[in-house]
């Protein structure tokens, strides 16, 4: 297994040539990291047969849906061993302080294997929020445990995120907004369209941070959460396409595999195109964030990163929103096409397809709706002439 590569933020792809965006590609180490996660989360996992992690993300998602969180939590412990839970935690708090691209690699694989649990929340948004708040006491209390995988975190942030996802497995539940971050207690549970997502109302507890400094930290957490969700959507879309191609090659009607019919081929080609052109937007967003984000430095903290240009933060918001829009649209197309190609068998709870289909539907509005993200892109484009050209 290749552990997390710990790419220093902003150095993932070398300095971008003048006037061009950073080259939106993964490093060889990041490819290996992805392959390791794929092996670990896949159904052919090397986990002991019958052991808690056996069957990979898909089997764990089914058990999670039934209320048995143990196989899923075993996978989370394995992810912690690879460093995944510490990717967004700065080194001084026991994490890896890795780049946003490393985080994207991990979340893409999580989506690909339908990993249950608060992925965007615990791996990305909460560590980013605590780090950006810059309160050493809070960081010391929570970040080392998050990095070690001893604590899983989640949060609600109404109105966009009205519920805390999987708060019943979380050791840290937050209620966050631009004005305050509070500890929170899980209340009534609501089922999600994705049976492996458990949604909880929260009751506000004592304030952990208040005042004008919270807004920037919350904005940072929102960006990381949206980026992680976009990555999950891309990974889920890939899984849906792969399942569809396999099915279309095996299912025979009229004496031929249905994948030999042009109507089916062209639908799947359109899915491949959508995913292919969403991916560079996702990777570029990760690199933009690494380039100019408030805690871009390896040690994290609002003051340790490279100075942001006047448009650095703006472009990061623009690029993350563009990535979320494109990844959600591509995953949506992948889901609709996958169901149509599978036919009735895909409409059953029994078929694995249901795990990805329902996850896509749940993730599309999570961490900002398509309308909100498009509006954010438009705001950036119309704020200054330069943004539209670059």
Select from 73-81, 201-209, 212-220, 322-330 the region that touches another protein (CB under 8 A): 322-330
- In sequence order, the β-bridge partners of residue 180 are 210
Under the binding rule (CB under 8 A), the answer on residue 365 touching another protein is no
Crossing angle, helix 353-363 and helix 312-342, to 10 degrees?
Answer: 150
CA dist., res. 305 & res. 295, Å (int):
5
Nearer to another protein, 38 or 374 (CB): 374
**The residue to which tokens 């996978």 are assigned:** 75
Q: Which of 193, 204, 215, 269 binds another protein (CB under 8 A)?
A: 269
Q: Which two tokens stand for residue 284?
A: 């570029």
Select from 57-65, 178-186, 187-195, 276-284 the region that touches another protein (CB under 8 A): 276-284
Under the binding rule (CB under 8 A), the answer on residue 377 touching another protein is yes
Minimum Å gap between C-beta 360 and another protein is 19
CA dist., res. 264 & res. 241, Å (int):
12
CA dist., res. 175 & res. 162, Å (int):
9
- In sequence order, the β-bridge partners of residue 200 are 164, 189
Minimum Å gap between C-beta 251 and another protein is 11
CA dist., res. 281 & res. 276, Å (int):
10
Crossing angle, helix 213-250 and helix 312-342, to 10 degrees?
Answer: 30
Side-chain-side CA neighbours of residue 316 (13 Å): 26
Under the binding rule (CB under 8 A), the answer on residue 42 touching another protein is no
Q: Which of 17, 49, 159, 255 binds another protein (CB under 8 A)?
A: 17
Q: Which of 4, 96, 322, 338 binds another protein (CB under 8 A)?
A: 322
**The residue to which tokens 């799947």 are assigned:** 268
Minimum Å gap between C-beta 248 and another protein is 6
Count of residues in contact with another protein, rule CB under 8 A: 49
Q: Which of 325, 328, 355, 357 binds another protein (CB under 8 A)?
A: 325
Longest dimension (CA), the chain: 68
Under the binding rule (CB under 8 A), the answer on residue 20 touching another protein is yes
Minimum Å gap between C-beta 378 and another protein is 5
Cis peptide before 159 (omega within 30 of 0): yes
Under the binding rule (CB under 8 A), the answer on residue 11 touching another protein is no
User: Restricting to residues 203-262, which ones interact with another protein according to CB under 8 A?
Assistant: 241, 245, 248-249, 256-257, 259-260, 262
The backbone region for 351, taken as left when phi is positive above 0, alpha when psi lies in -120 to 50, beta otherwise, is beta
Q: Which two tokens stand for residue 271?
A: 């899915």
- In sequence order, the β-bridge partners of residue 252 are 257
Q: Which of 36, 141, 265, 304 binds another protein (CB under 8 A)?
A: 265
Alpha carbon 352 to chain centroid, angstroms: 20
Q: Which of 123, 284, 316, 366 binds another protein (CB under 8 A)?
A: 284
CA dist., res. 275 & res. 244, Å (int):
14
Nearer to another protein, 197 or 376 (CB): 376
Q: Which of 2, 3, 25, 299 binds another protein (CB under 8 A)?
A: 25
Q: Which of 18, 48, 212, 307 binds another protein (CB under 8 A)?
A: 18
Q: Which two tokens stand for residue 388?
A: 């539209």
Q: Which of 21, 160, 302, 306 binds another protein (CB under 8 A)?
A: 21
Binding site for another protein (CB under 8 A): 14-21, 23-25, 241, 245, 248-249, 256-257, 259-260, 262, 264-266, 268-270, 272-273, 276-281, 283-284, 322, 325-326, 371, 374-375, 377-378, 381-382, 385, 388-389
């Amino acid at each position: 297994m290749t552990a997390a590569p710990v790419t220093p933020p902003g150095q993932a792809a070398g300095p971008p040539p003048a006037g061009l965006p950073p080259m939106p590609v993964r490093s060889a180490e990041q490819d290996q990291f992805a392959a390791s996660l794929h092996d670990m989360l896949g159904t052919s996992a090397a986990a002991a047969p019958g052991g808690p992690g056996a069957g990979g993300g898909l089997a764990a998602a089914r058990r999670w849906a039934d209320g048995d969180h143990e196989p899923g939590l075993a996978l989370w412990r394995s992810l912690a061993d690879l460093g995944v839970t510490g990717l967004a935690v700065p080194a001084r708090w026991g994490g890896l302080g890795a780049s946003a691209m490393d985080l994207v690699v991990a979340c893409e694989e999580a989506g690909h294997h339908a990993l249950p649990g608060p992925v965007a929340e615990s791996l990305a948004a909460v560590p980013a929020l605590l780090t950006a708040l810059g309160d050493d006491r809070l960081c010391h209390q929570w970040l080392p445990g998050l990095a070690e995988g001893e604590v899983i975190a989640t949060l609600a942030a109404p109105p966009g995120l009205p519920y805390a996802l999987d708060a019943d497995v979380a050791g840290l539940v937050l209620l966050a907004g631009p004005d305050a971050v509070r500890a929170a207690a899980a209340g009534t549970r609501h089922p999600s369209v994705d049976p492996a997502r458990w949604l909880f109302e929260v009751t506000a507890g004592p304030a952990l941070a208040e005042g004008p400094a919270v807004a920037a930290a919350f904005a940072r957490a929102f960006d990381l959460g949206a980026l992680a969700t976009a990555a999950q959507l891309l990974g889920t879309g890939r899984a849906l396409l792969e399942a569809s191609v396999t099915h279309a090659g095996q299912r025979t009607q009229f004496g031929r595999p249905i994948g030999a019919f042009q109507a089916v081929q062209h639908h799947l080609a359109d899915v491949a195109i959508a995913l292919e052109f969403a991916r560079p937007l996702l990777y570029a967003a990760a690199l933009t964030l690494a380039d100019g984000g408030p805690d871009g430095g390896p040690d994290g903290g609002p003051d340790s990163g490279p100075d942001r240009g006047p448009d650095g933060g703006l472009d990061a918001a623009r690029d993350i929103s563009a990535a979320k829009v494109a990844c959600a649209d591509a995953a949506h197309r992948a889901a609709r096409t996958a169901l149509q190609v599978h036919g009735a068998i895909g409409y059953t709870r029994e078929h694995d397809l249901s795990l990805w289909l329902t996850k896509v539907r749940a993730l599309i509005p999570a961490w900002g709706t398509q309308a909100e993200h498009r509006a954010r892109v438009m705001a950036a484009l119309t704020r200054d002439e330069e943004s539209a050209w670059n």
